[in-house]
Structure 1
Amino acid sequence: MFKLPRPMAIGQLRFGGRLGWARGATGALIGVALAAVFGLSLPDAYHWPWIVAPIGASAVLVFAVPASPLAQPWSVLGGSMLSALVGLIIGHTIALPMLAAGLSVGIAIAVMTYTRCLHPPGGACAIVGTLAANAPDGGWLGLMLPLLLNVIALIGAGWLYNNLTGHAWPHIPVQAPPTPEIGWAGAYERADLDAVLEEWDEVLDVNRQDLDALFRAVERRVMRRWQDERTKR
């Protein structure tokens, strides 16, 4: 008998749980459709594509993992627009397509990181920008204008839909509870978390405050079990 696969997960966040796949899929449908309507509202002379492909990837982040730092409004807007602009500039400057594509993505990552708007679909926007340099108008209006409308529509849909379905967007980090009383051996300080993150030297797709709140919740649960075990002795 055919069985459905288990829900996919990002870290410990299962799409089959509270953040269901149906909620994300419905939101993406609405967001991308609205982005398409906005793009098609432009006269033919002012757009190269009426919807830019990286919008689909942005929709996955905005509606499936709205708590991700990579899926916040400024990340979507800045990451998409700045990366496309970088791609256009490189496409007009470098004649060799292979070099231009690689260079545009590399510079886009640096720009997004510096401006605090890292957004994975921005890499695709950079390549689209490089290709758009060969468009009749050089891509300046034909790409940037429909992309801007697509992004604005997606952000508007994301803000309305996520908040209506119980997921604050922009994401509001969970406030960690107070540190347990002295004497509980499992307690840690936030400086410990920062030190471990520094040692790992990895970019995690989760907010620091959410990590802290998660660890505090685990800490309280372990503390209760520890206290229960001591009581039974």
Structure 2
Amino acid sequence: MVRHIHSLRLHALGRLGWARGAIGAALGIALSGFATWTLLSGHQAHALPFLVAPLGASAVLVFCVPASPLAQPWSVIGGDLLSAAIGISIGHLIGNPWLGGSIAVGLAIAAMSAARCLHPPGGACALLCALGAGGQVPWDATLMIPIAANVLVLSSFGWIYNNLTGHAWPHVAPPPPAPVPQSTRDHVIAVLEEWDEVLDVDVDDLDAFVQAVLRRRAS
């Protein structure tokens, strides 16, 4: 029983425990909403949302998996804002929410990939904005104000919170304890090319992990 309680405590309070991510995400969303509501105080506050739903998915990535390439600052900021702009533009251009939403998500993925800021919640931003822009009461470019405020505040708090809790953000791959006799990075890249899959982890992180495992095995 004591061992089970100790295990639960480690899962909750460990370096990437669920409690750390949950607290960070809750605070990040709260601060983003408050800052955006304050920015929009006045007549605009009734016409524009102070929080957008895709921000919740961004918070999961930023605070729960801060080492992920999909959760880095440029991915969060560039991915969400670029996709939102595409969604609004396509929604107005196409008019039909179903067709506009489909095209917007596809274009957003292509644009994020080209700009090296792939961020899954960006797809949600593109779809949300395309549906709104193609609806009966079309959303316009002013929707970018709360989205930008949400994303920038969440990213700023994520930078503070992650670094204060021991996770460099933007993420920096940890150096291996000591070099192994044979370089592993080229082998890691070769295996990834053979698998022909995209893994949600940086090549340098994989290389450091493999080297650390080999070093530990040899010791």
TM-score by length of 1: 0.83
Larger deviation: 14-23 or 25-34?
14-23
Larger deviation: 126-135 or 162-171?
126-135
Q: Percent identity?
A: 53
Contact kept in structure 2, 1:129 and 1:139, CA below 8 Å: no
Counterpart in the other structure of 1:118? 118
Q: How does 1:117-156 map to 2 (within 5 A)?
A: 117-133=117-133, 134=135, 138-141=139-142, 143-156=143-156
CA distance in 2 between counterparts of 1:61 and 1:119 reads 9
> Which residues of structure 2 form unaligned runs of 5+?
none
Deviations along 1:68-116, whole A, 9 cap, x unmatched? 1111111110000000011011101113221111111111000000001
2:149 matches 1:162? no
CA distance in 2 between counterparts of 1:161 and 1:203 reads 28
Query: What is the Cα deviation at residue 222 of structure 1?
Result: 1.9
2:31 matches 1:34? yes
Q: How does 1:1-233 map to 2 (within 5 A)?
A: 17-41=14-38, 42=40, 43-45=42-44, 47-133=47-133, 134=135, 138-141=139-142, 143-181=143-181, 187-224=182-219
Contact kept in structure 1, 2:66 and 2:167, CA below 8 Å: yes
Query: What is the Cα deviation at residue 15 of structure 1?
Result: 6.8
Contact kept in structure 2, 1:48 and 1:135, CA below 8 Å: no
CA distance in 2 between counterparts of 1:27 and 1:213 reads 27
CA distance in 2 between counterparts of 1:157 and 1:44 reads 27
CA distance in 1 between counterparts of 2:118 and 2:44 reads 31
Contact kept in structure 1, 2:33 and 2:51, CA below 8 Å: yes
Secondary structure of the 2:200 match is coil
> What's the Cα RMSD here?
2.1
Query: What is the Cα deviation at residue 45 of structure 1?
Result: 2.1
Query: What is the Cα deviation at residue 175 of structure 1?
Result: 1.9
> Which residues of structure 1 form unaligned runs of 5+?
8-13, 182-186, 225-233
Larger deviation: 40-49 or 198-207?
40-49
Query: What is the Cα deviation at residue 180 of structure 1?
Result: 2.5
Query: What is the Cα deviation at residue 27 of structure 1?
Result: 0.4
CA distance in 2 between counterparts of 1:59 and 1:180 reads 37
**Partner AA of 2:141 in structure 1:** W
Query: What is the Cα deviation at residue 156 of structure 1?
Result: 0.9
Q: Which has the larger radius of gyration?
A: 1
CA distance in 2 between counterparts of 1:16 and 1:195 reads 36
CA distance in 2 between counterparts of 1:16 and 1:203 reads 30
Deviations along 1:162-193, whole A, 9 cap, x unmatched? 11111111111112355423xxxxx4532111
Contact kept in structure 2, 1:58 and 1:121, CA below 8 Å: yes
CA distance in 2 between counterparts of 1:73 and 1:215 reads 26
CA distance in 1 between counterparts of 2:100 and 2:193 reads 33
Contact kept in structure 2, 1:24 and 1:60, CA below 8 Å: yes
**Partner AA of 1:31 in structure 2:** G
Larger deviation: 21-30 or 188-197?
188-197
